[in-house]
Structure 1
Amino acid sequence: MDEIGFQKLIYDQIPITEKMGLEVIEFKPLSVKILARLKPNLNHKCTAFGGSINSLMTVCGWAAVFINIKEIDPNSHIVIQRSNIEYFLPIDKDFTAECTIEEQAGIEKFLFTYKKYSRARLKLNVFCRDNDKILSKFEGQYVVFR
């Protein structure tokens, strides 16, 4: 599945993503980037609403799990089990969440566990950045099961 196909899938399965103006920029097993438009996600201070930032980052992590598990088991289910987010700076323009998987061994262990037990967990970090400044950091633990 490519970026356009995945964007259509999330619009169909998670309708709020379309309302938020999400656009899938990169959709690869080791790197997922999703952009959100500021205008539909404004708060009363004319910056990005915290709930929108959280939603974008949750979907970005979910997408990273999706691209890694669906080739193994297209019928698997992915849910967020736990998350934590930190907001460092206000976001006053379109913003992008990025989930980069830097340790291939972690994905291999996750997939091995899933194949063996039909259930596995994966903890991922997602960042919103403006050049070299971190705007927000999200840590999510996702569970995949049959």
Structure 2
Amino acid sequence: MPHSDALQRLLQHYRSMPPVAVMGLSIADYDGQRLQLHAPLARHVNDKGCAFGGSLASMMTLASWGLVSLQLDAADIDADVFVADSQVRYLAPLFGDLEVSASLAEGEDWADFIKTLRQRGRARTHLVARVPLADGRPATTFTARYVAIAK
């Protein structure tokens, strides 16, 4: 499977963080441009029986961070990745498992991001993440700016 070593390293990194380890997070798919994470609702349920908002925000933050990390891994760049700012919109309650998809925002380009990081030792890019409802409509959306700083 393509990317399997990088995905295994990413999953190990996620699991090395105590708050993330208890989330039951797994990598559902990665196609080189989009990272999908999964977590069971049972570990993220709130008092209303739907997904806890903080869990949704965390999963989208982790998916986006993971996508940037995978792109750096593919480019063989050792860098720290940080979320600089983000916005979350809660559009509808989610009564199913958390299925998160993260991708580069429209108008952004991985090649430019990598080139800037190599030249300046620092780069930023924008990502988007979504959690769909069972019918495909968005339950939650996330936009964020991530920064990478070469080590």
TM-score normalised according to structure 2 size: 0.87
Secondary structure of 1:108 counterpart: helix
- Of 127, 133, 138, the residue aligned with 2:137 is 133
On the 8 A contact 1:110/1:120 being kept in 2, the answer is: yes
Q: Residue 112 of structure 2 corresponds to which residue in structure 1? A: 109
Gaps of 5+ in 2: none
* Matches of 1:84 and 1:123, distance apart in 2: 11
Shift of residue 102, structure 1, vs aligned partner: 7.2
Does structure 1 residue 92 correspond to structure 2 residue 95?
yes
Q: CA RMSD in A?
A: 1.8
Instruction: Tell which deviates more after alignment, 119-128 or 40-49.
Output: 40-49
Matched residue of 1:7: which SS? helix
CA displacement 1:13-56 (0-9 Å, x = unmatched): x2222211111111342010001111111111111110000000
Q: Which residue of 1 aligns with 2:12?
A: 8
Identity %: 23
**SS at structure 1 position matched to 2:109:** helix
**TM-superposed deviation, 1:73:** 4.2
Q: Distance in 2 between matches of 1:30 and 1:101?
A: 7
TM-score for both structures, normalised by structure 1: 0.90
> What amino acid is aligned across from residue 23 of structure 2 in structure 1?
M
Unaligned runs of 5+ in 1: none
Between the aligned partners of 1:78 and 1:102, the Cα distance in structure 2 is 17
What code does the residue aligned with 2:117 have?
Answer: Y
Moved more, 100-109 or 131-140: 100-109
